Chains A and B, each alone.
Chain A
């Protein structure tokens, strides 16, 4: 990235005249100030602690205390009152809930669940969603994934219900109280920037491995969007309407129930949709801590590089994501359109009729389910694993290397690792620690306030203090390289999409599907294409982040003021000039947002890339989980959170601009 040049320049001595000129510009002023501070502190720091990686004198080893805490928890999990009377009940409630849902799903049988889900999707989002649901569940059964699908579904239902409840309550509090909102917002913002993996360790520490911690991690991960959107929805209510409601003498409760909540309906439904998608994403990743179900099958297959089996479990995940998204997003748009002709007097009658229909439908579904049996009949399954693996072997033989002219995927992977990742990693690891801090401070300060800079620097320093400097730099190198590729590709796709409505029309459904898919699924095809290592992790990250970048950039470019564009055209600007001189500058906020999103999304996948040989921080989390060595895992998890926070702050333009 070009960041290196930005900070070196101001540190070079400039002639006084130029200095004074530079002083006039705020960005230059910040850099000069920072340069001066660095110039004073750096030699001292370098002399005292050296100029390599983070000095060990400044690191605090938490292995001992954390290990002891972990041992204490394990020893006391079945005896201490805190676990018996508090955590135990939470865990018990979750397990009971998941079990109940799971037993109900099994009791409904494959036919019942399929029919019920299709009916529900049809009712909520129309015929097409219903048909999608029908086909999807049938495919899950056909692939022989019925039981894992039901397990994932059971976990999802409980986790989503809890996330929506928790999120809505928090959102309600933040929507109604300013102080709560001010306190909650930075927390929620930060939580959304952190990779999913960072949430796993703390719950495992308390609850061990199993379904209860998996549900809890999912709730913690999926509740923030609900809370955020609820709060924003409530706060965004038209003040004029609220004043009118007040002027009619409404009590606080009437005001909330009859005006604020109904008016925030669109945001609430969007919140539910986002929460469901995030929950699915996490429920799959949580297989690492015992979530079972589909994610577990993928995890199982990835560790043996069995692409066929991974795909068999991956397809149902994708289908589940599409069904859930179509059903709930459809619901959102349906609610947004005001429906004419809801005459008052015939409502009760219609309601009874609907209720009767529903009762009949449910009864039929249950009967169908009982008749058809609990799990999908084994003879109706299609084993795709073997043909897929054969195809993959063919690919390995023919596409991996030695294709004249373009090499092969394995060659690309090797070259990407050898020529991009390795030098970048070595460079970052060779960077003096104080230099890295100064660099981060400069970037964050340029783009935000001194407060963002401070947060970013402290986060980076925390990584050093935890003794995770080297793996963090490794992860960082993977992130930076993947972000660079993502941005290049993203712009290459977004610019034509912004200019041609036809390209945009073609692209939109593809982006829609890609954006709904859980991160975990992307790991499957890249293993088939690139094998194991850092390159496939990067490829997965790029594919995952690309849709968001394309969407944000093309939207930003398209929103450029038509009047400004017209005037540029009237002055005889070429297409390229329009793009460079009008559209890019006008879309600056969106472009920065695209960078921010790219960084956040890439980081989240690079971390889970540890499951396909990505190494670094993510690997330490997996290692900690696999070995029951939670001290290592927790420190790596904390370092991941710090890295996420740092990257988010460094790329986050002034908050007011885009929130």
Chain B
């Protein structure tokens, strides 16, 4: 389309050269940026296999620190605590967050802006502020922090209700945001069709809305689970004496002194996070081509 004058041809060639160098430079930058993101993690994993106590001088390959980690009862208890806490708080937050998402996305009512903002606040508030808020609340209200001792089918459990409440409090909002995003994208004609076919509100919800919403709910649950497993600050401030999760244990270990045992534990936690990310990606891609929902009327 361009008018062919020597000057313009020159200009265009110059632009093309610039574009090529630009994209080459951009790719180089991309590689460097990812190297920056990954190198510390790779080095961390590498030194979990170090033979000696050092995390900066490589002396030889060994699985010694993994063995020490598995033998450490405190670490193992913290691990079960972490998993228990994440499962319980995720279950509660997923149900409550989904209810909130439905209420906020599907209806308009007086005072909605205020309720809306309340559900966003826990996401943006810094975790240190939320942690001390909850600390004061549990203290002042007399609810306290001491985990309940429960015996379930002969298994003795310590239920850290204060930490569970703290985790649910921030996870409700995250679940609600993810589920709302899904609701906003959802095609409402299917629900209208169901109603036209004399399905009542509950049937429509159970047979149409819920199945279509499932990827969003699972995505929200997975996010909540990861956030709960990862949380350090809120757990640290809301757990009573004697209740430790893995991040709290890791923080304590770092404060005492650096050994490859921390690297080994980190590698284990990294593997868990990685598998959770993979699951979430698989969920998302599968739900992508499953837009059409089978309705089991």
Q: Do A and B bind each other?
A: no
